[in-house]
A and B are shown apart, each in its own frame.
Chain A
Amino acid sequence: MVATTIAGALLTLRAWAVDPTELPDPRLQARYLALTHELRCMQCQNETLADSPVELAADLRHHVRDLLLQGKSDDEVRAWMVARYGDFILFRPRFSPRTAWLWLAPGVALLIGAGVCWRIVRGRAALVDADREPVAGDDTEAQDTRG
């Protein structure tokens, strides 16, 4: 279902795409389009295989097509490309010790941000409490957040 939606979306894009390839099975075609949109053209480097007009991209698309027709899985096609061109060919890097920081950094940044927010909110809350109870001795923390 998702695959057909993607295929539908991609098929409308195909009208002005550089790649006229048509696979016999619509499911294969959907996988072909998904794969060529997430593999990098090594020559132009910021374009996907699907978008690049250079000959090497056409050759690599041809290999993607052949591998799919041979019954290879998406992961096998990606592995085939990575064996030749390295991780760089994947626009969506795999999770590995080398790329762990890449995937985990946003989560870590989010946690740090949440921690900072929590501290600020707690500080403000303490400030409100301090205002309500002017005699409370703990006004150093309130001072700290104000300063």
Chain B
Amino acid sequence: MNRFALPMAVFVALVVVLAIGIEHSPQKGIIASPLIGKPAPPFSLPSLADPVRAVASADLKGRWYLLNVWGTWCFECRAEHQMLLEARDAHALPLIGLDWKDDDAQAREWLTQLGNPYEAVALDHSGSTAVDFGVYGAPETFLINAQGIIVYKYVGPLTRDVWTNEILPRLPPHAAARS
């Protein structure tokens, strides 16, 4: 009887540790970005509205903005589009689109049909900027502060819950008050 006590105790302890691990594993499949709290990777990409002009991270310094990675090939992006329009109408901060490996004409058509939530859309044809941001699946949304630091990242279609409970509380008081 006694000789089984220790192995049994070890086994029970292992079960408890693993159960806690499974229970508390942060949303499965979501990988914490090493870029949170670090400066956003610099980018300067052609603008969808006017390919001669550039959408550049340097020009966005001094303002908080949401960088939303999307593409017309991305099924889930359609699901978050309504929320993006609502976010635009809240006037809390500008939305900058990063159109990831997409066709320009299709992207324009998408925005004409569904509405354009973005102040500007940067065209990442090669996908290099998305890789610099550690993007692994659209849609992904980055909250970037006035100093150009990535404050928060959300993977998956933006929801009202994330907007109200994760993004708005992180904004400086005057910006959040406008929503």
- The chain A residues found within 8 Å of chain B, CB to CB, are 42-43, 45, 55-56, 59-60, 63, 82-88, 147
Contact = CB atoms under 8 A, between A and B. Distances in A.
A84 B137 contact: no
Given A63-B128, A85-B31, 11 more contacts: A56-B136, A56-B137, A59-B127, A60-B131, A83-B34, A84-B35, A85-B33, A85-B34, A86-B31, A86-B32, A147-B2
A86 B3 contact: no
A85 B136 contact: yes
Given A42-B31, A82-B34, A88-B31, A147 B3 contact: yes
B29 interface: yes
Nearest to A87: B34
B73 to A, nearest CB: 9
Interface in B3-19: 3
B119 interface: no
B136 A42 contact: yes
Name the 7 nearest CB pairs between A and B, nearest first: A42-B136, A84-B134, A86-B34, A59-B127, A85-B134, A88-B31, A43-B136
B31 A84 contact: no
Interface string B96-134: 000001000000000000000000000000111001111
Contacts of B31: 42, 85-86, 88
A13 B128 CA distance: 29
A82 B131 CA distance: 11
A56 B134 CA distance: 11
B137 to A, nearest CB: 6
Nearest to B38: A83
Contacts of A59: 126-128, 131
A55 B101 contact: yes
Nearest to B29: A45
A85 B131 CA distance: 9
A86 B33 CA distance: 6
A84 B33 CA distance: 7
